[in-house]
């Protein structure tokens, strides 16, 4: 049964219904989609609608079956191996759960952990959406996995980097707002995400008025879930209030979390020093752009060539 659509989530520019019929090979059980998520079917055709939905609608889009079963199996195997071998890595938004950190395991810097992750960051539909929303020179801020083990407690509602400490508003420019985006998050589902196993919770439309979540009851009252099938890719505006939810099932729930940023925002993970040289050497032009190897700032300008390097008639 479709859930009721929230008032904000309903603001589709062209009023196109959100209902989605999964391809036949996915129709093995009850359709698990959250009906608030606008379904991406044809990026070129829907570009205006997707932009509006991302910035001023629910803030959440879904690309069904964006990755093959082989890619998902490969990625999942690597994440399970890595997180079995190393339960203690840096994590975030777990202030209330410090006794349970091992039940929510992160695997960072995934470009180094398997070629499938280089494929994932270059998914053509996601790239087209990023290019439109963040500018064509957009970068990869981070690619990490979040594995919720059974009993994993979930997170506090939050917003994502570079807004993730926006509770310290005085550290940010006055007048900063949500009219454009400095972040686009893509979650690749490595397992089916269900309400029981911790599918990400989110407050549709909360990105419209940029704020760090401050009232758990407001979040709880309006929260929807990013439910879907393994292989789906959920795209959301990092200003949307959201969090991993508790895993009350008896199996794992893992996702690959990709953060894309405009070219001028400092990357969260240090891709330049962190990504293996062998990967950079064989990288496509797009992957080089994402890693940021050809981006020249910050620059030692007193050591730069004595030429006009910026402006409409720049030499370099
Ligand atoms: O894994 C999830 O469901 C969400 C994780 C998340 O939002 C984060 O770590 O920033
Ligand atoms: Fe997040």
Supply the residue whose CA is at minimum distance from atom 9 of ligand 1: 92
Cα–Cα nearest to 6, from 221, 279, 239 = 221
Q: How many distinct helices (H) and strands (E) make up the chain?
A: 8, 10
> What is the predicted pLDDT for the residue at 51?
96
Residue 28 has pLDDT above 50, yes or no: no
Cα–Cα nearest to 155, from 243, 87, 222 = 243
Directed axis angle between helix 124-134 and helix 43-56, to 10°?
A: 50
Can you tell me which residue has the tokens 């009906």?
35
Query: Any idea what the CATH number is for the domain that residue 91 is in?
Result: 2.60.120.620
- Residue 9, token pair as written in the block: 């989530």
Question: How many domains are there within the chain?
Answer: 1
Ligand 1 proximity of 255 Cβ (cutoff 6 Å): yes
Residue 2 inside a domain? The answer is no
Between CA 249 and CA 228 the distance in angstroms is 16
Is the Cβ–Cβ distance between 200 and 193 less than 8 Å?
Answer: yes
Between CA 106 and CA 147 the distance in angstroms is 6
Which atom belonging to ligand 1 lies closest to the Cα atom of 91? 9
Between CA 107 and CA 96 the distance in angstroms is 21
Q: What is the 3-state secondary structure (H, E, C) of 172-185?
A: CCCCCCCCCCCCEE
Ligand 1 proximity of 213 Cβ (cutoff 6 Å): no
Ligand 1 proximity of 113 Cβ (cutoff 6 Å): no
Q: Convert the pLDDT of each residue in 71-100 to its tens digit.
A: 999 999 999 999 998 866 666 776 666 677
Residue 221 inside a domain? The answer is yes
Ligand 1 proximity of 160 Cβ (cutoff 6 Å): yes
Distance 315 CA to ligand 2 centre (A): 41
Ligand 1 proximity of 200 Cβ (cutoff 6 Å): yes
Residue 24 has pLDDT above 60, yes or no: no
> What is the predicted pLDDT for the residue at 85?
87
> What is the predicted pLDDT for the residue at 95?
61
Distance 243 CA to ligand 2 centre (A): 6
Residue 224 inside a domain? The answer is yes
Over range 282-298, report the average pLDDT. 97
Find the length of the chain: 316
Integer angstrom CA distances of residue 268 from 85, 170, 193: 24, 21, 26
Residue 12 inside a domain? The answer is no
Residue 308 inside a domain? The answer is no
Can you tell me which residue has the tokens 């180094």?
112
How sure is the predictor about 6, in pLDDT bands with cuts at 50, 70 and 90?
A: very low
Query: Which has the minimum average pLDDT: 87-96, 194-203, 227-236?
Result: 87-96
Residue 238 inside a domain? The answer is yes
Supply the residue whose CA is at minimum distance from atom 5 of ligand 1: 244
Ligand 1 proximity of 242 Cβ (cutoff 6 Å): yes
Domain residue limits at 96: 31-303
Over range 257-276, report the average pLDDT. 97
How sure is the predictor about 259, in pLDDT bands with cuts at 50, 70 and 90?
A: very high
Ligand 1 proximity of 185 Cβ (cutoff 6 Å): no
Residue 20 inside a domain? The answer is no
Distance of CA 246 to the CA centre of its chain: 19
Between CA 205 and CA 158 the distance in angstroms is 14
Find the helix or strand (DSSP H, E) in which 134 lies.
helix 124-134
Q: Output the pTM of the full model.
A: 0.89
- For the four alpha carbons of 147, 152, 157 and 158, in that order, the dihedral sign comes to negative
Distance of CA 188 to the CA centre of its chain: 8
Which atom belonging to ligand 1 lies closest to the Cα atom of 92? 9
């Amino acid at each position: 049964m479709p859930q009721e659509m929230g008032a904000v989530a309903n603001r589709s520019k062209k009023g196109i219904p959100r209902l989605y019929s999964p391809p036949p090979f996915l129709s093995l059980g009850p359709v698990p989609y959250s009906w608030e998520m606008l379904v991406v079917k044809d990026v070129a055709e829907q570009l205006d609608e997707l932009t509006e939905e991302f910035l001023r609608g629910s803030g959440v889009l879904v690309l069904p079956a964006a990755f093959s079963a082989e890619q998902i199996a490969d990625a999942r195997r690597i994440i399970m191996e890595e997180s079995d071998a190393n339960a203690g890595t840096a994590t975030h938004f777990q202030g209330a759960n410090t006794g349970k950190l091992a039940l929510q395991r992160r695997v960072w810097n995934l470009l180094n952990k398997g070629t499938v992750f280089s494929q994932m960051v270059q998914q053509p539909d996601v790239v087209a959406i990023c290019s439109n929303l963040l500018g064509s020179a957009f970068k990869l801020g981070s690619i990490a996995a979040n594995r919720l083990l059974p009993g994993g407690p979930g997170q506090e509602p939050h917003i994502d980097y570079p807004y993730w400490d926006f509770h310290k508003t005085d550290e940010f420019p006055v007048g900063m707002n949500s009219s454009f985006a400095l972040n686009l998050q893509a979650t690749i589902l490595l397992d089916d995400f269900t309400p029981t196993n911790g599918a990400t919770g989110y407050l549709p439309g909360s990105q419209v008025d940029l704020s760090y979540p401050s009232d758990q009851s407001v979040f709880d009252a309006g929260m929807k879930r990013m439910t879907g099938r393994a292989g789906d890719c959920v795209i959301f505006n990092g200003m949307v209030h959201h969090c991993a939810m508790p895993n009350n099932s008896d199996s794992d729930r893992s996702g690959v979390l990709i953060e894309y940023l405009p070219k001028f925002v400092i990357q969260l993970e240090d891709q330049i020093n962190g990504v293996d040289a062998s990967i950079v050497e064989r990288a496509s032009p797009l992957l080089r752009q994402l890693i940021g190897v050809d981006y020249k700032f910050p620059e030692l300008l007193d050591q730069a060539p004595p030429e006009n390097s910026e402006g409409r008639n720049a030499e370099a």
